[in-house]
């Protein structure tokens, strides 16, 4: 594996100790986990992982008596100190009462400061970071399937550990599973590994806990390049390999921009439809939703995004969830640069405009504190940090820096930033000190420190924030206006050649409650009901339901049942929940769909149906 070179900078930026993570019980100032050794068995019948986790420890406080770890719903059988020869000594431990979000603090009495501790445990079927699917819930309906989703603080539901992004560790694993089942993890995976039920993994680079990942099931493999492959169920893998055939080109493009790819291989696992996110940037093995497989590569920017995380997020990581824009904002910016280089500036500009316009529409409804890139400390869950502000305001700030300082200067700065903080977790203050010394101060007159601080620590979007232009979007704006004003028939819209992003833009800027006759006319002309494109479908059903078109309800229910991705499912539930009759229909649909949803999706939908959905 190639590592990023360390570049010279004008001043040192040591990564210091950070404030206590409010989402973790861990005490990294006392002791830090430096390596994890997993030995687990996958049991589909019991819906559990069983085995042990051995943690290598770096003690910081000579007076410390306890090791404190994060767990959630784990059944701890025993804890042992393990010396260099492998000799085990039983340690006393206690599990605190369960907190709804944080789980249970595991306190291990270890006054002798052992070099390693081994925890023997099993997970529960309802573990928040695992989903167990029956064969009927998979694409091929032949074998059960299991996958993890550790972000943000769900790793603790399947491994006892220090579950904070500030703490990085290497890991290796031995996993046993039924024969004919393939196991993959967020480490180097062997595409030619025999399906013999015995798998080993090694992740030599230090990663935070939220990037710990595992999946097991009927998984086939197709190579897409010398260091990339697609993993998916047999009926899906061919389609996925075609959709992602540009993966090697994407890797090479990003390397040209920001330095060598540090992780060796970049593989993609396409999960069953219940996966709650578009993608998860697990090192070496991105987990991806099948909703991007639309046949025309129009949604392949998801791969650009998850690949970009190999630099921003996986390589340089936010030290706390309130700093998550350091992961997502930087990644969304890099995603745009990859998309522009490989698929053209027009598509990159359209995607930037889509997100910026949506943020402009919604940010004013958010509490002032949540409009900040780095909000003041507040009592919210870690999952709630992943808002559009982190992604879209963050990337908008970086596009502004690029415009002010020039692409050549900003590229050199960003390449140096990734190299300097490689394999470290940092907070916004650390990032800003580096920004000031290596960009603002070196290029006076381009942007003041006060302007940069306002982007990060003030609510809203600065009035002079630059936006790209799109002639095609301008034309769509004109056509939408004419259509709504009865000056252009639906069939006369110049939509035959619209790509996914252009349909998204057309629908996103329709009235929140559009006229019913307009929605009927659109459907008659363009047959949007029943579209296999989930991005278009989500927008179409939400608007048609709001307009009162009951003819779309059956197809909307099929969309909600087929897709477990939060972003593509919850808006349709929200549209139904606005009327008593719609709410009753949504509850009935959910009763059918629930078994196929991830626990995160279940929680979100149940909040909507109970009238407790959150604005973000």
What's the chain's Rg over C-alpha atoms? 24
Smallest Cα–Cα separation from 253: which of 213, 301, 290, 289?
Answer: 301
Q: Is 113 annotated as a binding residue?
A: no
Q: How far is CA 260 from the centre of its chain?
A: 22
Q: What is the reported pLDDT for 155?
A: 98
Percent of the chain clearing pLDDT 90 (strictly above)? 90
Quick check: 117 and 108 in contact, CB under 8 A? yes
Tens digits of per-residue pLDDT, 225-279? Answer: 999 999 999 999 999 999 999 999 999 999 999 999 999 999 999 999 888 888 9
- CATH code of the region 318-457: 1.10.390.10
Does residue 199 have a pLDDT over 60?
A: yes
Tens digits of per-residue pLDDT, 358-393? Answer: 999 999 999 999 999 999 877 667 777 788 999 999
Smallest Cα–Cα separation from 334: which of 297, 310, 305, 314?
Answer: 305
Does residue 8 have a pLDDT over 70?
A: no
Question: What residue ranges do the domains of the chain occupy?
Answer: 22-129+145-187, 318-457, 472-609
- CATH code of the region 22-129+145-187: 2.60.40.1730
Tens digits of per-residue pLDDT, 298-321? Answer: 888 889 999 999 999 999 999 999
CB atoms within 10 A of CB 56: 18
Does residue 508 have a pLDDT over 70?
A: yes
Does residue 440 have a pLDDT over 80?
A: yes
Tens digits of per-residue pLDDT, 77-87? Answer: 999 999 988 89
Q: What is the reported pLDDT for 276?
A: 86
- Decide: helix, strand or coil at residue 484: helix
- 318-457 matches 22-129+145-187 in CATH topology: no
CATH architecture of the domain 472-609 equals Alpha Horseshoe (1.25)
281 is annotated as an active-site residue? no
Q: What is the reported pLDDT for 386?
A: 81
Percent of the chain clearing pLDDT 70 (strictly above)? 96
Report CA-CA distances (Å) from 543 to 86, 502, 524: 62, 16, 15
Which pLDDT band holds residue 97 (cuts at 50, 70, 90)? Answer: very high
Q: What is the reported pLDDT for 384?
A: 76
Mean pLDDT confidence for 565-571: 95
Tens digits of per-residue pLDDT, 319-342? Answer: 999 999 999 999 999 999 999 999
Tokens of 551: 């003819």
- Residue whose tokens read 């549209």: 575
Burial of 2 (0-12, 13-18, 19+ CB in 10 A): exposed
Mean pLDDT confidence for 194-214: 98
Mean pLDDT confidence for 123-134: 96
Mean pLDDT confidence for 156-184: 98
Which pLDDT band holds residue 18 (cuts at 50, 70, 90)? Answer: low
Which pLDDT band holds residue 95 (cuts at 50, 70, 90)? Answer: very high
Q: What is the reported pLDDT for 298?
A: 81
- Mean pLDDT (the chain) is 94
Annotated catalytic residue, options 306, 350, 351, 535: 306
Q: What is the dihedral of CA 509, 514, 516, 518, to 10 degrees?
A: -40
Q: What is the reported pLDDT for 3?
A: 29
Does residue 10 have a pLDDT over 60?
A: no
Which pLDDT band holds residue 601 (cuts at 50, 70, 90)? Answer: very high
Mean pLDDT confidence for 138-143: 93
Does residue 1 have a pLDDT over 80?
A: no
Annotated catalytic residue, options 391, 417, 434, 597: 391
Q: What is the reported pLDDT for 6?
A: 30
**One-letter-per-residue 3-state SS of 80-138:** EEECCCCCEEECCEEECCCECCCEEEEEEECCCCCCEEEEEEECCCCCCCEEEECHHHC
Which pLDDT band holds residue 614 (cuts at 50, 70, 90)? Answer: very low
Mean pLDDT confidence for 493-511: 96
Which pLDDT band holds residue 613 (cuts at 50, 70, 90)? Answer: low
Smallest Cα–Cα separation from 586: which of 595, 598, 597, 574?
Answer: 574
Mean pLDDT confidence for 448-467: 97
Q: Is 305 annotated as a binding residue?
A: yes
Rounded CA separation 487/368 (Å)? 40
Strand partners, 107: 68, 94
Q: What is the reported pLDDT for 297?
A: 84
- Provide the edge-to-edge strand list for the sheet that holds 145-148: 130-133, 145-148, 214-217, 182-185
Q: What is the reported pLDDT for 616?
A: 34
DSSP 570-585: HHHHHHHTTSHHHHHH
306 is annotated as an active-site residue? yes
């Amino acid at each position: 594996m190639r590592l990023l070179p360390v570049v010279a900078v004008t001043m040192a930026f040591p990564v210091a100790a950070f404030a206590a993570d409010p989402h973790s019980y861990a005490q990294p100032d006392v002791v830090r986990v430096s390596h994890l050794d997993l030995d687990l068995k996958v049991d589909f019948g019991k819906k559990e992982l069983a085995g042990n986790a051995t943690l290598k420890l770096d003690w910081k406080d000579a007076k410390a008596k306890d090791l404190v770890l994060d767990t959630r719903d784990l059944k701890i059988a025993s804890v042992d100190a393990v010396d260099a020869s492998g000799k085990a000594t039983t340690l006393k431990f206690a599990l605190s009462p369960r907190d709804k979000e944080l789980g249970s603090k595991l306190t291990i009495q270890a006054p002798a400061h052992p070099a390693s501790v081994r925890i023997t445990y099993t997970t529960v079927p309802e573990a928040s970071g695992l989903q167990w699917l029956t064969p009927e819930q998979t694409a091929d309906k032949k074998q059960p399937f299991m996958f993890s989703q550790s972000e943000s603080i769900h790793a603790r539901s399947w491994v006892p550990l220090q579950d904070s992004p500030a703490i990085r560790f290497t890991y290796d694993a031995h996993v046993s599973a039924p024969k004919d089942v393939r196991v993959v993890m967020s480490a180097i995976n062997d595409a030619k590994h025999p399906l013999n039920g015995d798998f080993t993994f090694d992740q030599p680079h230090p990663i935070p806990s939220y990037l710990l990942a595992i999946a097991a099931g009927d998984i086939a493999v197709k190579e897409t390049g010398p260091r990339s492959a697609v993993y998916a169920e047999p009926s899906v893998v061919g389609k996925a390999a075609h959709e992602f055939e540009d993966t090697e080109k994407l890797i090479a493009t990003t390397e040209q921009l920001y330095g060598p790819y540090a992780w060796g291989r970049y593989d993609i696992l396409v999960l069953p439809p219940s996966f709650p996110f578009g993608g998860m940037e697990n090192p070496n093995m991105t987990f991806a939703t099948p909703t991007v497989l639309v046949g025309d590569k129009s949604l392949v920017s998801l791969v650009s995004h998850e690949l970009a995380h190999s630099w921003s997020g996986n390589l340089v990581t936010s030290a706390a969830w309130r700093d998550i824009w350091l992961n997502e904002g930087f990644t969304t910016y890099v995603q745009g640069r990859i998309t522009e280089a490989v698929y053209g500036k027009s598509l990159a500009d359209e995607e930037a405009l889509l997100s910026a316009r949506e943020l402009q529409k919604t940010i004013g409804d958010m509490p002032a504190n949540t409009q900040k890139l780095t909000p003041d400390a507040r009592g919210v869950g870690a999952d709630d940090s992943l808002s559009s502000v982190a992604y879209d305001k963050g990337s908008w700030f970086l596009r502004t820096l690029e415009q002010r300082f020039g692409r050549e200067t900003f590229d050199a700065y960003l390449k140096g930033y990734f190299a300097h903080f490689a394999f470290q977790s940092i907070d916004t203050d650390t990032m800003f000190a580096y920004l000031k010394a290596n960009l603002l101060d070196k290029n006076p007159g381009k942007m003041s420190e006060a302007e940069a601080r306002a982007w990060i620590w003030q609510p809203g979007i600065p009035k002079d924030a630059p936006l790209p232009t799109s002639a095609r979007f301008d034309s769509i704006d004109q056509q939408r206006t004419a259509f709504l004003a009865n000056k252009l028939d639906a069939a006369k819209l110049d939509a035959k050649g619209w790509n996914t992003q252009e349909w998204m833009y057309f629908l996103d800027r329709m009235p929140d409650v559009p006229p019913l006759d307009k929605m009927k006319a659109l459907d008659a002309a363009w047959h949007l009901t029943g579209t296999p494109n989930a991005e278009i479908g989500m927008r179409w059903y939400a608007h048609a339901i709001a307009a009162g078109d009951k003819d779309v309800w059956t197809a909307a229910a099929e969309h909600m049942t087929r897709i477990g991705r939060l972003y593509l499912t919850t808006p349709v539930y929200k549209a139904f929940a606005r009327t008593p009759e719609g709410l009753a229909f949504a509850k009935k649909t959910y009763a059918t769909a629930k078994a196929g949803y991830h626990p995160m999706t279940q929680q979100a939908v149940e909040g909507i149906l109970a009238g407790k959905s959150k604005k973000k």
